[in-house]
Amino acid sequence: MSPDPSTPVPHLAFFEPRIAGNTGNAIRLSAVTGSTLHLVEPLGFDLSEPKLKRAGLDYHDLASVVVHPDLDALLAALPDSRVLAFTVYATTSYADVVYRPDDVLLFGPEPTGLPAEVLAHPRITDQVRIPMLSGRRSLNLTSSASIVAYEAWRQSGFAGGV
Protein backbone atom coordinates (compact mmCIF):
# COMPACT_ATOMS: atom_id res chain seq x y z
CA MET A 1 0.00 0.00 0.00
CA SER A 2 1.25 3.50 -0.75
CA PRO A 3 1.41 6.07 2.02
CA ASP A 4 -1.05 8.93 2.05
CA PRO A 5 0.91 11.86 0.53
CA SER A 6 -0.81 14.23 2.96
CA THR A 7 0.46 12.31 6.01
CA PRO A 8 2.47 14.68 8.17
CA VAL A 9 4.62 11.91 9.69
CA PRO A 10 8.15 11.83 8.27
CA HIS A 11 9.84 8.84 6.67
CA LEU A 12 11.25 6.27 9.10
CA ALA A 13 14.55 4.70 8.04
CA PHE A 14 16.24 1.76 9.73
CA PHE A 15 19.89 1.37 8.76
CA GLU A 16 20.87 -2.31 8.66
CA PRO A 17 18.27 -3.52 11.19
CA ARG A 18 19.12 -6.85 12.79
CA ILE A 19 16.08 -7.95 14.79
CA ALA A 20 13.01 -9.17 12.90
CA GLY A 21 10.59 -8.46 15.73
CA ASN A 22 11.63 -4.81 15.96
CA THR A 23 11.11 -4.37 12.24
CA GLY A 24 7.74 -6.09 12.46
CA ASN A 25 6.75 -3.59 15.13
CA ALA A 26 8.01 -0.77 12.89
CA ILE A 27 5.73 -2.07 10.13
CA ARG A 28 2.82 -1.65 12.54
CA LEU A 29 4.06 1.85 13.40
CA SER A 30 4.21 2.71 9.70
CA ALA A 31 0.70 1.38 9.17
CA VAL A 32 -0.90 3.29 12.04
CA THR A 33 0.85 6.61 11.35
CA GLY A 34 0.94 6.54 7.55
CA SER A 35 4.70 6.97 7.43
CA THR A 36 6.87 5.07 4.99
CA LEU A 37 9.35 2.63 6.53
CA HIS A 38 12.66 2.44 4.67
CA LEU A 39 14.97 -0.49 5.39
CA VAL A 40 18.62 -0.18 4.38
CA GLU A 41 20.36 -3.46 3.60
CA PRO A 42 21.93 -5.67 4.67
CA LEU A 43 19.12 -6.82 6.93
CA GLY A 44 19.85 -9.17 9.81
CA PHE A 45 16.86 -11.32 8.88
CA ASP A 46 14.75 -12.46 5.95
CA LEU A 47 11.62 -10.39 5.31
CA SER A 48 9.58 -13.60 5.30
CA GLU A 49 10.68 -14.60 8.84
CA PRO A 50 7.80 -15.68 11.08
CA LYS A 51 8.96 -13.32 13.88
CA LEU A 52 8.67 -10.35 11.53
CA LYS A 53 5.25 -11.41 10.30
CA ARG A 54 4.01 -12.14 13.82
CA ALA A 55 5.20 -8.76 15.16
CA GLY A 56 3.60 -6.95 12.22
CA LEU A 57 0.34 -8.87 12.72
CA ASP A 58 -2.04 -8.07 9.90
CA TYR A 59 -0.59 -4.62 9.23
CA HIS A 60 1.76 -5.65 6.40
CA ASP A 61 -0.80 -4.76 3.74
CA LEU A 62 -1.50 -1.39 5.40
CA ALA A 63 2.13 -0.27 5.63
CA SER A 64 4.46 1.20 3.06
CA VAL A 65 7.85 -0.52 3.31
CA VAL A 66 10.72 0.15 0.90
CA VAL A 67 13.99 -1.79 0.95
CA HIS A 68 17.15 -0.04 -0.28
CA PRO A 69 20.43 -1.81 -1.11
CA ASP A 70 22.46 0.84 0.75
CA LEU A 71 22.28 4.27 2.37
CA ASP A 72 23.08 6.14 -0.83
CA ALA A 73 20.14 4.48 -2.58
CA LEU A 74 17.82 5.62 0.22
CA LEU A 75 19.16 9.16 0.04
CA ALA A 76 18.89 9.22 -3.77
CA ALA A 77 15.23 8.21 -3.47
CA LEU A 78 14.56 11.23 -1.21
CA PRO A 79 16.95 13.87 -2.60
CA ASP A 80 15.24 16.94 -1.11
CA SER A 81 14.60 15.56 2.38
CA ARG A 82 16.39 16.54 5.55
CA VAL A 83 18.06 13.54 7.16
CA LEU A 84 17.98 13.47 10.94
CA ALA A 85 20.31 10.84 12.38
CA PHE A 86 19.39 9.58 15.85
CA THR A 87 22.34 8.88 18.12
CA VAL A 88 23.20 8.98 21.82
CA TYR A 89 26.15 11.24 20.88
CA ALA A 90 23.98 14.15 19.72
CA THR A 91 23.21 17.30 21.67
CA THR A 92 19.96 18.25 19.88
CA SER A 93 16.89 16.79 21.58
CA TYR A 94 14.17 15.24 19.44
CA ALA A 95 11.70 17.54 21.25
CA ASP A 96 13.51 20.64 19.96
CA VAL A 97 13.13 19.74 16.27
CA VAL A 98 10.36 21.16 14.10
CA TYR A 99 9.60 18.18 11.89
CA ARG A 100 8.63 18.29 8.22
CA PRO A 101 6.58 15.63 6.42
CA ASP A 102 9.44 14.87 4.03
CA ASP A 103 12.11 14.44 6.75
CA VAL A 104 13.98 11.15 7.01
CA LEU A 105 14.31 9.92 10.59
CA LEU A 106 17.35 7.64 10.45
CA PHE A 107 17.93 5.05 13.17
CA GLY A 108 20.83 2.61 13.52
CA PRO A 109 20.93 -1.11 14.14
CA GLU A 110 20.55 -2.85 17.42
CA PRO A 111 22.73 -2.81 19.51
CA THR A 112 25.39 -0.54 18.00
CA GLY A 113 23.49 2.44 16.62
CA LEU A 114 24.60 4.37 13.55
CA PRO A 115 28.28 3.94 12.66
CA ALA A 116 30.60 6.97 12.52
CA GLU A 117 30.76 6.94 8.71
CA VAL A 118 26.98 7.26 8.51
CA LEU A 119 26.93 10.07 11.08
CA ALA A 120 29.59 11.86 9.01
CA HIS A 121 27.69 11.47 5.70
CA PRO A 122 27.28 14.86 4.00
CA ARG A 123 23.50 14.37 3.68
CA ILE A 124 23.02 14.18 7.46
CA THR A 125 21.27 17.43 8.34
CA ASP A 126 21.48 17.06 12.10
CA GLN A 127 22.22 14.50 14.77
CA VAL A 128 19.41 14.12 17.28
CA ARG A 129 19.01 12.30 20.58
CA ILE A 130 16.22 11.02 22.77
CA PRO A 131 17.08 11.86 26.39
CA MET A 132 17.45 9.01 28.85
CA LEU A 133 19.04 8.37 32.20
CA SER A 134 22.82 8.38 32.46
CA GLY A 135 24.54 5.03 32.16
CA ARG A 136 21.89 3.51 29.90
CA ARG A 137 23.02 2.30 26.48
CA SER A 138 19.93 2.74 24.33
CA LEU A 139 16.22 2.40 23.82
CA ASN A 140 14.62 -0.32 21.74
CA LEU A 141 14.84 0.61 18.05
CA THR A 142 11.11 0.76 17.34
CA SER A 143 10.39 2.40 20.68
CA SER A 144 12.77 5.18 19.64
CA ALA A 145 11.16 5.52 16.23
CA SER A 146 7.71 5.60 17.85
CA ILE A 147 8.65 8.40 20.24
CA VAL A 148 9.88 10.59 17.39
CA ALA A 149 7.15 9.66 14.88
CA TYR A 150 4.46 10.58 17.38
CA GLU A 151 6.20 13.85 18.27
CA ALA A 152 6.27 14.75 14.56
CA TRP A 153 2.61 13.81 14.24
CA ARG A 154 1.72 15.72 17.42
CA GLN A 155 3.29 18.84 15.93
CA SER A 156 0.83 18.59 13.05
CA GLY A 157 -2.11 18.26 15.45
CA PHE A 158 -2.34 14.53 14.65
CA ALA A 159 -3.63 15.47 11.21
CA GLY A 160 -5.61 12.62 9.69
CA GLY A 161 -5.74 10.71 12.99
CA VAL A 162 -8.84 9.55 14.76
Domains along the chain? 11-155 (3.40.1280.10)
Q: Is residue 1 scored above 50 in pLDDT?
A: no
Q: What is the pLDDT of residues 33-69, one digit of tens each?
A: 999 999 999 999 887 767 666 555 567 678 889 999 9
CA distance 113 to 64: 23
Q: Which of 77, 84, 34, 30 is nearest to 52 (CA)?
A: 30
- Please list, in sequence order, all residues whose beta carbon lies within 8 angstroms of the beta carbon of residue 79, skipping any fewer than 6 positions away: none
Residue 2 has what pLDDT?
Answer: 41
**Which pLDDT score is estimated for 8?**
76
Can you state the angle between helices 20-33 and 141-155, rounded to 10 degrees? 10
The H-or-E segment that residue 51 falls in is helix 50-56
Question: Are 53 and 28 within 8 A, CB to CB?
Answer: no
Alpha-carbon separation of residue 125 from 35, 56, 75, 133, 162 (angstroms) = 20, 30, 12, 26, 32
| Rounded mean pLDDT, 91-97 | 97
Q: Whose CA is closest to 41, among 74, 90, 81?
A: 74
Across all residues in the chain, what is the average pLDDT? 89
For residue 6, what pLDDT is reported? Answer: 60
